[in-house]
Amino acid sequence: MVQGKIKTENIVAALIFFFLFICPLFIDSYSVLNISYFLSMAFLSLSLTLIWGYCGIFSFGQAVFFGIGGYFYAVLTLNLTGTSAITPLGLLLGVILGGLAAWILGYFMFYGGVNDVFVGLITLCLTLVLSTFMGQTAGSAWNIGQVSLGGFNGINGIPALELGPISLSGNNFYYFVLIILFVIYCLLKLFTHSKVGAAIVAIRENRERTKMFGYNVPKIQSLVFAAGGALASLSGILYATWGNYITPSAFALSSATIPVVLVAAGGRKNFTASIIFTVLYYWFAQGLSASGSQYALVILGLILILVTLFVPDGIIVFLFHLSDRLFFHRESKMKEVQEEHLHEKNIG
Amino acid sequence: MKKTSVENSTNKKAILELKGVGKYFGGLRAVDNINLSVKKGDLHCLIGPNGAGKSTIFKMIMGVYKPTSGSILFENNAITNKRTWDRVKLGLSIKMQIPGVYGDLTAYENMKIAAQNFYKRREMNNKIMELFDLLEITNLKSKIVNNLSHGQQQWLEIGMALACKPKMLLLDEPAAGLGPEETNYTSDLIRKLNDKGLTILFIDHDMDFVKNIAKSATVLHLGNKFAEGTVDEIASNQKVIDIYLGK
């Protein structure tokens, strides 16, 4: 419901996932590892698409939950190295913790009547506070169990995920991330067609009016914000296991801003667009890393300005609509005429 | 305040009661110590010039504003401290002054958002189509709401309010911005709903429109209850005529 069916989107999504499932067969393992990283970051964009694009909650705070997930996983698994099934348990608990942290923050904000730009300000402040705090955690005073938080150096040597005897590295990690992404993507698409999915769009469109249709708006907002926190936390954990490290830069201003820019530029109301634009950006940034990946940020900034000026719904969504008009317009127009005709017949 | 026969003319039970309700915004008394009782099955109008406090009363009834003083009872239960969504679930529903519809969605999707909290999935579609038929806007169901006329949006919103299974419907200026034909259609619709047993409390400025449909009315002026009675009594009340003409 609500967004309308974009035929191109469904076709493109199917082709992309098909390509991603078969690409390890013909690309080198270094590229596979890189794509795992791009896909891990896609969860962060999905979290923002859900809460901002669908529910209208503009947050700079997804980096907070990303970092919380990453740090929690690192501290837990390094403290309990050798314990069986500790890494999947760390993943699960980290996702729950991210969701819980977001729910607590959301509860106080939304039941307290904080909305719109003020949510953005509060979450931005929280990101900066955590960034500063984690940066000063060098030294033994900031050990949790056997693990030092490590100040600006962060935590290194974070164990990779293990599912029983299978260590999730290389292609295994890639497929693990891809399958989770595919499942979550499908669930999110289904969710948007559900009763709550319709309610969150209603909240985005007119919050006060939606209360008058019997919806407990702060409760729904808190739960959606929690789901967003859980997704961001999942992203942080996958990132930490991919690179085996996490640093306070996870909470830095750029980390807080990039997901917002990616989602806005790709199309904030569309999960497929967010994934595509995120993967393209990280692929592009990686490609430029030899000459300094800061260029990627400059180019991303320029793209955002142009998109905001000319295609405010996002560049990927614009391309979807353009393709729909070019290839599927005639069919949908015919259907509309048929429906009108049927209606007139019924009235007659 | 002029006392009339209406207060004692019926033995019906009150569905909504405001007891000494006041709302102050800083030093401004938007509503001051209002007592109002709406009986089951009534079609009652709140009238008064701009700034009389009509919309503020509606917002207090729906829980958007908390009264500074007094209490609100719905079916004899105090709802003064209940949240908006709980009041809707008890049977209060509203059409806002400015159409509160979801412009980017279709008329059907709008109705679905309103109805899905009150009907099971199996019966919801039938109910929505029934409401479209009642409002005679079935042909608009697939249209994007932003493309509908102001009148069509007003009727759609009345439909959405009806989709919440209301026991009492609040209509804030249902004829505002409508042409003569649309106003007639809206009058007929409101009467039709009231004939089916729905209690309706509405706000309007247009005395002709009020005379056409309301059974009784309360006049507000500067946040106070100024007069109450049948519409004919109100229309012939010289003091009411004076405040409308600004004397």
Contact between chains at A198 and B116 (C-beta distance less than 8 A) = yes
Give the CB-side neighbour count of residue A347, counting CA atoms within 13 A. 12
The answer to whether A343 contacts B138, with C-beta atoms less than 8 Å apart, is yes
What is the reported pLDDT for A116? 87
Flag residues of chain B having pLDDT under 70: 1-11, 245-247
pLDDT of residue B134: 93
Q: Count other Cβ atoms within 10 Å, centred on residue A185.
A: 19
pLDDT value, residue B6: 44
- Measured from the Cβ of residue A83, the count of other Cβ atoms closer than 10 Å reads 12
What is the secondary structure of A82-132 as a DSSP string? Answer: TSTTHHHHHHHHHHHHHHHHHHHHHHHHHHTT--THHHHHHHHHHHHHHHH
- Is the Cβ pair B96, A199 closer than 8 Å? no
Contacts of A208 in chain B (CB under 8 A): 64, 100
Global pTM? 0.89
| B138 close contact with A: CB closer than 8 A | yes
Model confidence at A4: pLDDT above 60: no
Computed on alpha carbons and rounded to an integer, the radius of gyration of chain A in Å comes to: 21
Q: Residue B24: which H helix or E strand, with range?
A: strand B14-25
pLDDT at A336 over 80: no
Distance of alpha carbon B87 from alpha carbon A214, whole angstroms: 8
The alpha-carbon gap from A211 to the nearest alpha carbon of chain B, in Å, equals 5
pLDDT number for residue B92: 96
Within a 10 A sphere around the Cβ of B29, how many other Cβ atoms?
16
CB-nearest partner of B85 from A201, A206, A215: A215
Of the candidates B62, B103, B116, the beta carbon closest to that of A212 is on B62
Chain-chain contact of B102 with A208 (C-beta, under 8 angstroms): no
Residues in Cβ contact with B201 at an 8 Å cutoff, skipping those fewer than 6 apart: B16, B38, B42, B44, B45, B46, B168, B169, B170, B171
Q: Is the CB of residue A209 less than 8 Å away from at least one CB of chain B?
A: yes
Q: Is A32 on the interface with B (CB under 8 A)?
A: no
Which among A212, A216, A219, A317 is the top mutation candidate for probing chain B, defined by the most B β-carbons within 10 Å of its own β-carbon?
A: A212
Choose from A1, A213, A217, A339 for mutation: most chain B CBs within 10 A.
A213
Which pLDDT score, from 0 to 100, does residue A236 have?
A: 97
Tell me whether A2 touches chain B (CB under 8 Å). yes
ipTM over 0.95: no
Binary contact (A216, B109; C-beta < 8 A): no
Question: Is A343 in contact with B116 (Cβ distance < 8 A)?
Answer: no
Closest CA to B93 of B149, B157, B46: B157
pLDDT of residue A292: 63
Cβ contact A77:A85 at 8 Å: no
Which pLDDT belongs to residue B153?
93
Distance, CA of B130 to CA of B124 (rounded, Å)? 10
Q: What is the pLDDT of residue B1?
A: 43
Q: Are strands A143-144 and A147-148 parallel, antiparallel or unpaired?
A: antiparallel
User: What residue spans define the domains of chain B?
Assistant: 6-91+166-245, 100-165
| Residue of chain A with shortest Cα separation from B61 | A212
Cβ pairs A/B, distance under 8 A: 63
Residue A339 predicted with pLDDT over 90: no
Closest CB to B85 among A1, A214, A347: A214
CATH of region B6-91+166-245, choose from 3.40.630.40, 3.40.920.10, 3.40.50.300, 3.30.300.130: 3.40.50.300
- How far is Cα B243 from Cα B51, in angstroms, rounded to an integer? 12
| A186-240 per-position pLDDT tens digit | 999 999 989 999 999 999 999 999 999 999 999 999 999 999 999 999 999 999 9
How far apart CA A200 and CA B1 sit, in angstroms, is 47
Q: Do A214 and B139 touch (CB under 8 A)?
A: no
Separation in Å, CA of B64 to nearest CA in chain A: 8
pLDDT tens by residue, A112-136: 999 989 999 999 999 999 999 999 9
Q: What pLDDT score does A334 carry?
A: 53
pLDDT at A347: 41
Residues 6+ apart with CB under 8 A from B136: none
Q: Is A345 on the interface with B (CB under 8 A)?
A: no
- Interchain CB distance below 8 Å, B102 and A202: yes
Q: Which chain A positions have a beta carbon within 8 Å of B94's beta carbon?
A: 212
> Looking at the partner chain, which of A206, A339, A347 has a beta carbon nearest the beta carbon of B102?
A206
pLDDT digits (tens, 9 = 90+) for A170-179: 899 999 999 9
Mean pLDDT of the A278-301 span = 80
Q: In terms of residues, how long is chain B?
A: 247
DSSP assignment of A181-203, as one string?
HHHHHHHHHHHHTSHHHHHHHHH
Question: B112–A198: do the CB atoms touch at under 8 Å?
Answer: yes
